[in-house]
Structure 1
Amino acid sequence: MTDDAVPDHRAPAPAPAPAPDLRASDADRERVAEVLREALAEGRLDMAEFEERLEATYQARTYGELAPITRDLPTAGAAAPPAPVSFTKAPAESGSWAARIVGGEGSSAGGVAILSGFERKGRWTVPKRFNCFAFMGGGEIDLREANFADREVEINCVAIMGGLQVIVPPGVEVVVRGIGVMGGFDHPRDDDGPPEPGAPRVVIGGFAFWGGVGVSRKVTRAQQLRLKEQRRQERVERRQARRELRGERRDREY
């Protein structure tokens, strides 16, 4: 075999990167957003970093502004189209309640606010009984990203000239048994329908005197971002449909 017949096994040279000052498209921004979603799911980014980078992604106008956003992530620069993402289902809403009822002890037994405040939020484990007390102060007990030590947990609230707020995710059954004297206990709205199968039951009791205990249902910040992305994507699709319709009309005119 002559030298001319030797096959060339060298990999083709990579395509040159786009010039930094070129304008990025909606598809480019969506690819970066998908990389960020994957990094959040794998624990490479926390929620604050994810939100900050996602906002920067949708504000980016050029490739030069997009490139640094995923430079430290292993899938940065991937050209694959984004995988389908559910914009309406959080992990708990997708049948994973059993994984969040972990048993054992809680990571926090209670909270006290005397002329001050406390928070229990993010990733934590709610014990079978959580006691909280507020005197001329306030506290927030956020269960949206929490695990549960038991299928049924009790949150005992005492608020004296203070306020306590309990936030539960949609799908959780809530029972309010508190007593208010010149104060009160809120009851969450049930607009989101009956409790989901396998979801925990949260019993809220206690006493409020010249104070209040608020109970509300809210989605997580991640779900809010998903819904925001969905609305944005719908707007992009509507604009694209209008452009295509105008193009068809021009073609018919000519």
Structure 2
Amino acid sequence: MTAQLPEPSPRPAAPSELRASHDDREAVVERLRDAAAEGRIDLDELDARLEQALTSKTYAELAVLTADLPQLNSSENRPPLVLKGGMNGASRGPGRWEVPGRVIAHGGWGGVKLDFSRVRCRLTEIAVEAYGEAAGVTVVIPDAWAADTSGMDPGIGGLTDRTTPDRLPGTPLIRLTGSGGVSGVVIRHPSRWERRKLRSNPTDQI
């Protein structure tokens, strides 16, 4: 009797073979429209590429549609975004906003909330300096993003990291530094209530 060999386990999918999301397709659609407006592709080619973008299933299928287009100016060249909680607090997001390579948040007396839930960001890494001070800083990142908090000083208020390490290829890493101050710094994925709000406003923009 011949011993049966165990069946080989499926190999992990390569990053380019991973399934693209609606947001991934929309980002390519926007890039193609920009390229047409810049005169890089004509309207017939735009229509053909848009049709392919909307039916693409993987990152690889999307990548070929913009492979011959120049890279956009990096958001790393933008000046840092500085948010100060002051007396009344400050926030950015959850609408779509332009993300620079560096963000500085001072909780002050009113607190700061920095929400990346709806942003479309081509950066591989975003540096966030958070200083909890008297009222604290909250950072919200999409499920596909990850955070490195090893450079953070928890201070008196502490650091609360509720993110998961599961980062999808092509998504940014939040590199969090700074100090928790008196009230601390929290970094997390969207809460249940925030998820319901996102689902009920799928095209919400600022």
Provide TM-score, normalisation by structure 1. Answer: 0.45
* Aligned mate of 2:160, from 168, 181, 186: 186
* Aligned mate of 1:204, from 176, 186, 193: 176
Any idea what SS the aligned residue of 2:106 has? strand
Q: CA, structure 1 residues 222+119, in 2 after alignment: closer, same or farther (shift >3 Å)?
A: closer
Any idea what SS the aligned residue of 1:214 has? strand
Amino acid of the structure 1 residue aligned with 2:128 = I
Give % identity. Answer: 17
Higher helix proportion (structure 1 or 2): 1
Runs of 4+ in 1 over 4 A off after TM superposition: 92-96, 99-102, 104-108, 219-223, 225-228
Amino acid of the structure 2 residue aligned with 1:91 = D
* Aligned mate of 2:23, from 91, 94, 97: 91
Segments of 5+ residues of structure 2 without an aligned counterpart are 1-20, 32-71, 201-206
Q: CA, structure 1 residues 157+104, in 2 after alignment: closer, same or farther (shift >3 Å)?
A: closer
Q: How many residues align?
A: 136
2:95 maps to 1:134: no
How far 1:221 moved relative to its partner?
Answer: 8.3
How far 1:106 moved relative to its partner?
Answer: 4.5
How far 1:189 moved relative to its partner?
Answer: 3.5
Cα RMSD after superposing both structures:
3.4
**1:202-239 per-position Cα deviation (integer Å, ceiling 9, x unaligned):** 111101221111111127989637978xxxxxxxxxxx
Segments of 5+ residues of structure 1 without an aligned counterpart are 1-88, 229-254
Q: Which residue of 2 aligns with 1:159?
A: 132
State how 1:62-141 maps to structure 2 within 5 Å. 91-92=23-24, 103=75, 105-106=77-78, 109-121=81-93, 122-141=95-114
Equivalents in 2 of 1:148, 1:179: separation in Å? 27
Any idea what SS the aligned residue of 1:135 has? coil
Equivalents in 1 of 2:75, 2:143: separation in Å? 21
Equivalents in 2 of 1:145, 1:101: separation in Å? 20
